[in-house]
Amino acid sequence: MSPVTAGTAGPEQAALPGRAPLSRDRIVRAAIELIEADGPEALSMRRVAAALDVAVMSLYNHVPNKKALLEGVAEHVANQIDLADDPSAPWADRARALLRAHRKMAHDFPRSLTVVLTHKVDTPAGLRPAERALAVAEAAGLDGPTSVRAMRAMLAYAVGTQMRELRVAETLAHLDVPQAESFARLDPDEFPHVIALASELGENDPDADFEFGLDLLISALERIAESQSRSRSRE
């Protein structure tokens, strides 16, 4: 049995002809592919090694353990948010662009999003969306404490809507009975509104729902900003 097949991290594995050298980035990307295919619970160092066609022990030259690998996944996915910004644009447009970019990242990596939310990202990648949201809140004219709350509300909305979309998609995929039939079985005395709007509830347009909620959020922030501006003018 060779040292490689015995589980040692032989350097020759990282430099076979036609194969890219093994690196932390390659390992993290392979982990993300596995997570997106089968979910975070299916991830293991052994499966990542098999996907890369290397010995398991060779991974430990680049990531010390599974926890570090998951942190790498969280960091990589968080870095996929397009944070391009135009400071000269109206703050509401900047806010919309930020939340849409965050949603796109979550849409591109739906199962890895769970890893992002459950593993602290201590690198700048974890703070860049917050920095951008705070800058937008400042441009809107919000004071410091309100800017922090606005930032949290914006990012929570971006993440929350995507998590809801995932739950709805999974629920619909596992329904044994069509949704219309499920509504038809409800007690009309207890669920009069659900039954009356069953057709509308049965429709699912995530993009329209997201934009509707985004309009509500921006409108609320505009009202708060206007109120604070009037208060400062009276001082």
pLDDT at position 168, please? Answer: 62
Residue 35: how many other CB atoms lie within 10 Å? 23
Work out the percent of the chain whose per-residue pLDDT is above 90.
61
pLDDT at position 66, please? Answer: 95
Gap between the Cα atoms of 71 and 116, Å rounded? 8
Burial pattern 202-226, b for ≥16 Cβ within 10 A else e, equals eeeebeeebeeebeebbeebeebbe
Residue 103: how many other CB atoms lie within 10 Å? 21
Where would I find the H helices in 85-189? 91-108, 112-118, 128-140, 144-174, 179-184
**Of the candidate ranges 37-46, 68-77, 175-184, the one whose mean pLDDT is the lowest:** 175-184
pTM comes to: 0.79
pLDDT at position 222, please? Answer: 97
Contact indicator for 154, 131 with CB cutoff of 8 Å: no
pLDDT at position 173, please? Answer: 52
Contact indicator for 159, 102 with CB cutoff of 8 Å: yes
pLDDT band at 3 (very low <50, low <70, confident <90, very high): very low
Tens digit of pLDDT for each residue in 170-215? 655 544 445 667 777 889 999 999 889 888 887 878 899 999 999 9
Look over the chain and give the mean of its residue pLDDT values, rounded to a whole number. Answer: 86
